[in-house]
């Protein structure tokens, strides 16, 4: 039997840091799946796989990036399997309950509106927006996690900004 939690190794780093990174992993999982229950499943599957393969993690590197990359691969494998099985479907963003207990009601309402607009983006743009604007990854780091060129990261972000700006302008026009 392997010792998953040997001291002084990547295994110890995975075990000690995973609980603190889990909320960010779940948020990234939500950006991929668009569904709260699927995000739960994906984050848990990623955590289990990370613990199973902890010896492959290089101590001193970014555990979050390693987990996000792993989550994306698991999600892509699930999407391929769903296509083969013919399953699918996303749950409406209105079913999410993601308010922060620390924030006031106005901030929670604003956060929910922003989340609703971000979740309406195509998956590729949505996951890129979450990595760069929410998680604070550089374009290079996001490109590594997503397995795409930096130019693609920049074009996805530009397209997402354009769509979000257009949606905001349409909302303002509709309110007047």
Output the pLDDT for position 120: 87
Per-residue pLDDT, averaged over 70-95, amounts to 71
Q: Name the residue with higher pLDDT: 85 or 1.
A: 85
pLDDT > 90: percent of the chain: 52
CATH 1.10.1740.10 placement within the chain: 1-88
Lowest model confidence (mean pLDDT) among 16-20, 52-56, 99-103, 113-117: 99-103
The pTM score is 0.65
Q: Name the residue with higher pLDDT: 57 or 95.
A: 57
What are the structure tokens assigned to 122, written together? 């195509």
CATH label, 103-176, candidates 1.10.3720.10, 1.20.1090.10, 1.10.10.10, 3.10.580.10? 1.10.10.10
The three-state (H, E, C) secondary structure of 28-55, written as one string: HHHHHHCCHHHHHHHHHHHHHHHHHCHH
Distances (CA, A) of 93 to 86, 113, 163: 23, 10, 17
CATH label, 1-88, candidates 3.40.50.300, 3.40.50.10490, 3.30.300.30, 1.10.1740.10? 1.10.1740.10
CATH 1.10.10.10 placement within the chain: 103-176
Q: From start to end of the chain, where are the E strands?
A: none
CB 139 within 8 A of CB 132: yes
Output the pLDDT for position 6: 44
User: Cα(first)–Cα(last) distance of the chain, in Å?
Assistant: 67
Q: Find tokens 């026009």 and name the residue.
A: 173
Output the pLDDT for position 107: 64
Judged by DSSP in three states, 5 sits in coil
pLDDT > 70: percent of the chain: 79
Q: Name the residue with higher pLDDT: 86 or 19.
A: 19
Lowest model confidence (mean pLDDT) among 31-35, 41-45, 50-54, 90-94: 90-94
Q: CA-to-CA distance for 151 and 134, rounded, in angstroms?
A: 19
Q: CA-to-CA distance for 25 and 21, rounded, in angstroms?
A: 6
pLDDT for residue 7 is more than 60: no
CB 162 within 8 A of CB 59: no
Confidence grade of residue 108 (pLDDT, cut at 50, 70, 90) = low
Distances (CA, A) of 40 to 10, 22, 36, 54, 71: 25, 10, 6, 21, 11
pLDDT for residue 69 is more than 60: yes
Per-residue pLDDT, averaged over 95-121, amounts to 67
Confidence grade of residue 104 (pLDDT, cut at 50, 70, 90) = low
């Amino acid at each position: 039997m392997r010792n998953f939690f040997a001291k002084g190794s990547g295994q110890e780093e995975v075990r000690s840091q995973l609980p603190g990174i889990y909320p960010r992993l779940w948020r990234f999982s939500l950006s991929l799946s668009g569904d709260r229950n699927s995000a739960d499943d994906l984050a848990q599957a990623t955590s289990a796989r990370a613990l199973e393969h902890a010896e492959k993690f290089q101590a001193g590197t970014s555990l979050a990036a390693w987990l996000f990359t792993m989550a994306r691969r698991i999600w892509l494998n699930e999407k391929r399997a769903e296509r083969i099985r013919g399953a699918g479907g996303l749950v409406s963003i209105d079913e999410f309950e993601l308010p922060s207990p620390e924030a006031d009601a106005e901030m929670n309402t604003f956060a929910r509106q922003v989340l609703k607009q971000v979740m309406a983006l195509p998956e590729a743009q949505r996951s890129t927006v979450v990595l760069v604007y929410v998680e604070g990854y550089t374009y290079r780091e996001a490109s590594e996690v997503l397995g795409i060129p930096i130019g693609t990261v920049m074009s996805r972000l530009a397209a997402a900004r354009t769509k979000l700006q257009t949606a905001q302008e349409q909302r303002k026009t509709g309110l007047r």
